[in-house]
Amino acid sequence: LHGKFTTNEGFCFDGKVPGLEKPMFDEMVIWEHGPSKVRGVGLPDLFHRLQPSARMLITIRDAVDVFYSAYNHFGEFGNTAKSPEHFHAFARDLTRIWAEAGCTVANFRTCLPPELVQGGSWLSRAMYSEHLPLWLDSFGCSQIHLFDVSVDPYEEVQRLYDFMGTPNNRAAFNVTQAAYRAQEETKQYSTRNNALNKNSYGPLLDATRVQLEDFYLPYNKKLCDMMAVHECLRVPLFERYCHVVDNK
């Protein structure tokens, strides 16, 4: 998730046995509607009331890559072909309108023009400083684990086993071997910096990355302030964000 979200228990709203089925809600729908309220109760608080002992696994990824990936996988622009150049113009216009209108993760669906709402969803997914406090307020660090897909797979899987308090007996090593093989097999022909994704679109323009990193900078600065309070947020990706913030 880059904001993808799951729990250690299934949700049983169709009569099936919890724990035996996958969660009944789409992870991205849960993540993006965190600011929503159900009869006055915030969605994270509602989840906590339903499953107070649940532990949350939230996958994170570089914000710019999250936005670009969503554009390429889900974007439909009529007769206009998707391309790094088209994305540059799309991102430029979307971020300008977002800033001028004062949009937030809570109001972008009414703040943005209808034709840009889907793009606003992609743009806001990795605004971690806006999403994470909602879940931390209800569950706390002891029940939330951030899985950083930007670093070595073995180390992250090992951290996950540690979080769950489960001896891995080399399982962390075994389950990550396929990831390393995929990296090696795609290294020579991949056009992108994440070899584990489908090789289906061209690399982001350098100018677009600079533009979007500047846009996300205030959110990342806020995230750095949160890390001083919440130990579970001290993961490599966020630490790299803070290094950039400190050098601006």
Block mean pLDDT (10 aa), the chain, length 248 = 43 36 52 78 87 90 95 92 96 98 95 96 95 93 91 83 77 68 56 48 93 97 96 95 92
In this prediction, residue 149 carries a pLDDT of 86
In sequence order, the β-bridge partners of residue 60 are 148
Residue 38: φ, ψ to 5°: -110, 105
pLDDT at position 23:
41
Which pLDDT score is estimated for 28?
Answer: 61
Question: Tokens standing for 48?
Answer: 């906590």
| DSSP letter (8 states) at residue 1 | -
Measure the CA–CA gap between 242 and 22, rounded to whole angstroms.
35
User: What is d(CA 42, CA 47) in angstroms, rounded to the nearest whole number?
Assistant: 9
For residues 59 and 105, give the distance between their C-alpha atoms in angstroms, rounded to a whole number. 18
Q: What is the pLDDT of residue 3?
A: 45
- Can you give the pLDDT at residue 165? 82
Q: To which residue do tokens 């992870």 refer?
A: 27
Which has the closest alpha carbon to 107: 130, 138, 129?
A: 130
Q: Considering only CA atoms, which of 35, 235, 231 is closest in space to residue 138?
A: 35
For the chain, what is the largest distance between any 2 Cα atoms, rounded to a whole number of angstroms? 53
How are beta strands 37-38 and 4-7 bridged, if at all? unpaired
Q: What local confidence, expressed as pLDDT, does residue 158 receive?
A: 84
The answer to whether the beta carbons of residues 124 and 105 sit under 8 Å apart is yes
In the numeric block, the tokens 């097999």 are attached to 185
Compute CA distances 90 → 85, 150, 207, whole Å: 9, 25, 13
- b/e per residue 34-65 (b: at least 16 CB within 10 A): beeeeeeebbbbebbeebeebbbbbbbbbbbb
pLDDT at 43: 86
- Say what the pLDDT of residue 46 is: 87
Q: Is 185 helix (H, G, I), strand (E, B) or coil?
A: helix
- In sequence order, the β-bridge partners of residue 5 are 58
- Alpha carbons 238 and 221: distance in angstroms, whole number: 10
pLDDT at res. 214: 97
**Within 13 Å and on the Cβ side, how many CA atoms surround 242?**
15
CB of 115 within 8 A of CB of 201? no
Q: What is residue 172's predicted lDDT score, i.e. its pLDDT? A: 67
